A and B are shown apart, each in its own frame.
Chain A
Amino acid sequence: GENVEQHPSTLSVQEGDSAVIKCTYSDSASNYFPWYKQELGKGPQLIIDIRSNVGEKKDQRIAVTLNKTAKHFSLHITETQPEDSAVYFCAAPGGGADGLTFGKGTHLIIQP
């Protein structure tokens, strides 16, 4: 099955700086890579996703890049704000028929 590894486990950045979270996957057939944000006591919320037919996707301050050859994808957050503090999860297909396999998460801390 799919194996997703995520780094770092904790990331602390100054407000206004950029943050980058990286994930690798094992199944070369995977074609969909979502990123979820989970705030304390809440369920994961989709923030951006990318499909294998594109290499990059942007939505305001958030972007995701995909390198299918190397089997890794990254989340980029620019101009970080206090409300960006949360746990971020990457995922890829492989958790069952249509389920997702998630990384272990990155705790992003925005320092004022």
Chain B
Amino acid sequence: EAEVAQSPRYKITEKSQAVAFWCDPISGHATLYWYRQILGQGPELLVQFQDESVVDDSQLPKDRFSAERLKGVDSTLKIQPAELGDSAMYLCASSPMRGVTDTQYFGPGTRLTVL
């Protein structure tokens, strides 16, 4: 069964450092999402891609966060500089087509701890 891949699974960094997370969606999935999940809460959308284009980044803190999906396949989410409040699970999800009723398949996430 095809799965969304993410790396690294765990990342510990000091505040003010740069961090990057990688996501490889299920093959053929056109839509890719990055969510952030703070401990004890549900995931919150950060950014949505349709192929290589950003569809929605209204909740992405653009002063420190950036995301790209250059060839419309895998994606990278970067934080620079990291702050203590960025400690969370960063989840990537993909779906075959665009549309909120299209099932979103989540990866295992990257657990970020900022010291």
Contact = CB atoms under 8 A, between A and B. Distances in A.
B41 A104 contact: yes
7 contacts: A31-B101, A41-B108, A45-B106, A98-B99, A99-B48, A101-B42, A103-B42
Given A99-B48, A102-B43, A46 B56 contact: no
Most buried by A among B93, B95, B102, B104: B104
A100 B104 contact: yes
Contacts of A34: 103-104
Contact of B101 (A4, A44, A51, A103): A51
Contacts of B59: 95-96
A105 B41 contact: yes
B55 A44 contact: no
Contacts of B44: 95, 102
A97 B48 contact: yes
Contacts of A32: 100-101
The DSSP consensus for interface residues of chain B is loop
Interface of B: 4, 31, 33, 35, 40-45, 48, 55-56, 58-59, 91, 93, 95, 98-109
Contacts, number: 74
A44 B43 CA distance: 9
Contacts of A93: 100-101
Given A32-B100, A32-B101, A102-B43, A43 B108 contact: yes
Contacts of A42: 108-109
A-B pairs, top 5 by smallest CB distance, nearest first, are: A102-B42, A99-B45, A43-B106, A97-B56, A95-B45
A104 B40 CA distance: 7
A1 B93 CA distance: 21
A73 interface: no
